Amino acid sequence: MSGASGFVGGAVCRAAVRRGWQVFAFGRRPSVDRAHVGGAPYTSWDLLGARPDLPEVDAVIHCAGSVTDWGPPRDIWAANVDGTRNAAAAFPGARFVHVSTASVYDPFRPTVMATEDMAPVRRYANAYGAAKAAAEGALHRAVVLRPHAVYGRGDTTLLPRVLGAVRGGRLLAVGDGRQRISLTSVANLVQACLLAACGPVEHGVFNVTDAEPVVLDDALRAILRERGIGAEPYYLPLKLADPLAGAAEAAFRLLGRSRPPRLTRYAVGHLAVERTLDITAARDLLGFQPAATSFAGAADW
């Protein structure tokens, strides 16, 4: 298991250990709390550095990589493309499960119940989408999973970013709130990872989301309600939000900020229009049985 020190990787480790699997956890951090990886033996391994002694395994679930849409393109490319190549090369005889992203679909038009053959595309809005698409292309024989907007207990990216947009009783969002989006709970993604690691399919590409898409406004209000936050979603039109995000990005780059602005063009593109995925292939071929979107327990995050 690569990326075991992270949000998704740790969740997959814990679930695999609960199933009685023998799990070897690898991550870039020097150490992790044993509970984070379910008590599995943990080895620090930077996939861009020296390779440690590795065990023989039947399957590798590759969760490592850069998940940010902000930062030096060279670093994002190295983490997602070179790191994926190195992980696959380290276990040449094992089934390889690669956790990719729905960001490999066309960022310049709505994604409406996209099927797996609709990616990659010719151009991307940033290095993240391009690098993740290239990482998929670098794998000769793998099971590739494409989640969208992963959330759940332990989330360090999506929900903190949404809640960070609350200002003065308003949760700033983009569009009109009626656009549909596919979300992926970490529990559903974990289920897909384990099915891909031991199921009947040894290679292929699969969208992985919750059971059905949700309406953005419904999702945002559910998050606020679960967190007990007295705020209302406030929607900026796309024509206004996109130039504002571009100006914020330019200012942050000029100031050399390492953290992204609260509104980026990448985030605008994923919030302002429909982003839904068809999960028929995962249901039919992997045996994927996803639960519905739920933010129950969000107050504990």
Tokens of residue 159, six digits: 């929900």
More confident residue, 266 or 94: 94
225 domain-assigned = yes
For residue 210, pLDDT over 80 is answered with yes
2 domain-assigned = no
For residue 301, pLDDT over 70 is answered with no
187 domain-assigned = yes
Average pLDDT over the chain, rounded to whole? 93
For residue 250, pLDDT over 90 is answered with no
Distance CA 55, CA 25 (A): 11
Confidence of residue 72 (pLDDT cuts 50, 70, 90): confident
301 domain-assigned = no
Q: Which of 182, 155, 161 is nearest to 298 (CA)?
A: 155
For residue 139, pLDDT over 90 is answered with yes
188 and 290 Cβ atoms separated by less than 8 Å:
yes
Say which range, 24-33, 72-81, 268-277, has the weakest mean pLDDT.
268-277
298 domain-assigned = no
Distance CA 250, CA 244 (A): 10
For residue 167, pLDDT over 80 is answered with yes
Q: What is the DSSP string of 17-48?
A: HHTT----EEESSS---GGGGTT--EEE--TT
At 180-202, the pLDDT tens digits run 999 999 999 999 999 999 999 99
Say which range, 32-36, 51-55, 102-106, 173-177, has the weakest mean pLDDT.
173-177
Query: Percentage of residues in the chain with pLDDT exceeding 90?
Result: 75
59 domain-assigned = yes
The verdict on pTM exceeding 0.75 is yes
For residue 256, pLDDT over 70 is answered with yes
Which pLDDT score is estimated for 155?
87
80 and 132 Cβ atoms separated by less than 8 Å:
yes
CATH number at residue 26: 3.40.50.720
For residue 43, pLDDT over 90 is answered with yes
192 domain-assigned = yes
Structural domain harbouring 138: 7-293
Which pLDDT score is estimated for 191?
98
299 domain-assigned = no
Which pLDDT score is estimated for 299?
63
Distance CA 89, CA 107 (A): 30
For residue 123, pLDDT over 90 is answered with yes
Q: Which of 67, 14, 65, 69 is nearest to 42 (CA)?
A: 14
Q: Which of 156, 210, 145 is nearest to 36 (CA)?
A: 156
Q: Which of 21, 11, 42, 26 is nearest to 198 (CA)?
A: 21
Which pLDDT score is estimated for 246?
84
Which pLDDT score is estimated for 224?
93
Helix, strand, or coil here: 220?
helix
For residue 263, pLDDT over 70 is answered with yes
